[in-house]
Amino acid sequence: MKSIYISEDLEAIRVGIREFVEREIVPNVEDWEEARAVPRELLNEMGKLGFFGLRVPEEYGGIALGHIASVVFGEELGRCTAGGTAITILVHTDLATPYVTNFGSPEQKDRWLPKFASGELITAIGVTEPDAGSDVAALRTTAVRDGDGWRINGTKMFITNGGIADVVFIAARTNVDVKGSRGLSLFGVEAGTEGFTATRALDKMGWHSSNTVELVLDDVWVPGENLIGEENRGFYYIMENFQNERMAIMGQGLGESQKAIELTLDYVKNRMAFGAPLWDKQAIRHRLAMRQAEVDAAREFTYKAAWMTDEGLDSVREVSEVKALVGELTNRVMYDCVQFHGGMGFIAETAIERMYRDARIGSIGGGATEVMLDEVAKRL
């Protein structure tokens, strides 16, 4: 459907992304799910084609588009039928790279951004810990001054791309004497740094093709030049980028939902039962029509939230509403789509079964539904 928020240029970019996804990703996702990883060659190729530079400034090899581009990118990746593949890419482009784009020093931008945009370097963000997820202020990882750098100790959990990233942006407490949200800082920690290890890969319900690990920082020393932005401002940087992160993830959820409906429409129009296609059953037609209406409405709301952010308007309420809405909606869509696939929807490694499992994280990751609704409630 056409939208007033999508320019002709962005629509052309969408077409290019969709063609790449259909040609280079969809035919391979089952192999990548089994391998529990996306090949580095894919990431390198996407960088070379410019897909990783949608939000990167032109002087560093990107095209400097806005938040709506992140939504569209997420949508098209979501259509690949493997959430793990989509999130591997989005973590790099929208969850991690923006910390340098928006808060990095000129030196950090020169050093990292061109290689992030080209796909030469892949990134991750290390915020979540075993005892701190959505509650960022409760983080326990510490960074203490040591010479002209910092000594970091702690553990990070559920870190997507953590085992494959060349640079991980680690949130650590640099001031233990102040309120939690005021004493956090961000550091770029490069792979291979002594004491920085991915101790184990996590076996997940879904997102099998994504690399998700526990990271341990055991007396890791990083130079002072790897501090992102200002000391003790990390919490505010994380909160600001959460807006972008959530829009990209919700774009992914919308793309997954739309693809699931399309797969199910094809199935019910061809599956015969009681002498007629399942599509002839009014209950099925109406349920799918309602889910499509909900997806269409959620998509426009997501675009609006992204547009507000691009315009510099306060969009915390809208983005929080979108995160809660789309996360829950994607799960409803997948439930119905599996139901209408019947027994085939319950067969492991079919696209719809995989999408059903992958969708479950949509109401948890990037801000649980309950946390998002509390943000909305504060603003009512």
**CB contact set of 90 (below 8 Å; sequence gap of 6+):** 73, 74, 77, 248, 249, 252
Residue 32 has which token pair?
A: 């990548």
Residue 237 has which token pair?
A: 């940087």
Overall size of the chain counted in residues: 380
Angle at 77 between CA 46 and CA 79, to 5 degrees: 140
The secondary element (H helix, E strand) that includes residue 218 is strand 212-223
Indicate the Cα dihedral angle 63, 66, 68, 69, nearest 10°: 20
216 - beta bridge partners?
155, 197
Question: What is the set of active-site residues?
Answer: 245
What is the C-alpha separation between 10 and 146, in angstroms, rounded?
Answer: 47
Q: Which amino acid is at 147?
A: G
Q: Outline where DSSP puts E strands in 130-211.
A: 142-146, 149-160, 167-173, 184-190, 196-201
